[in-house]
Amino acid sequence: MKYCNQCGNTVAQKVPEGDNRPRYVCTECEVIHYENPRVITGCLPIHERRVLLCKRAIEPRLGLWTLPAGFLENGETSADGAMRETMEEANARVSIDGLYTLFSLPHISQVYMFFRATLQDLDFYAGEESLETKLFSEDEIPWDQLAFPVITETLKHYFADRIEESFEVRYLDNVIDRR
């Protein structure tokens, strides 16, 4: 950050009074510019015993499979964001069944939340950010072609929890891509 979004003057990093870490502070109007983690929200869309995945048409991880998800927008709830992302990426209508996984990834300043969701119908198709959409049973999941560790973890938990039909919310810290 180089300029203040309030007055346009330059900013400098310093620890503001009453704070404990460096922040960008305007050298003129003294507005503090906080940088906070990004929130990614998405769905684990389910139809019968299959899960809907999207093949990414964009970087990062172009051509790999993922759950429909993306950045939460201002003014929407996390569940509304998850449904919007599912519509944008897979043109799929879902109903939310509940929060399922929550990941805190401080090494990339992101928080991921996935909701279990039920597909309302099978009239889905790839959106602009997807090359393909497809329903997968557990034994069809392309495990070595999943885009992100949070996707792998969410799917592993889902298939394990499905055996008992008990879907408690999972909270995980520091899931790191080890490829």
Q: Which CATH number does 1-35 carry?
A: 2.20.70.10
Look up the pTM and report it: 0.91
DSSP H/E element including 146: none
Confirm if 33 and 25 have CB atoms less than 8 A apart. yes
Best CATH choice for the domain 38-173 from the list 3.20.20.150, 3.40.640.10, 3.50.50.60, 3.90.79.10? 3.90.79.10
Q: What is the mean pLDDT of each run of 10 residues along the chain (179 residues)?
A: 96 96 96 96 97 98 98 98 98 98 96 98 98 98 98 98 96 78
Task: Tell me which residue of 4, 74, 1, 8 sits closest to 41, measured CA to CA.
Answer: 74
Q: What are the boundaries of each domain within the chain?
A: 1-35, 38-173
Query: What pLDDT shows up at residue 178?
Result: 61
Confirm if 150 and 101 have CB atoms less than 8 A apart. yes
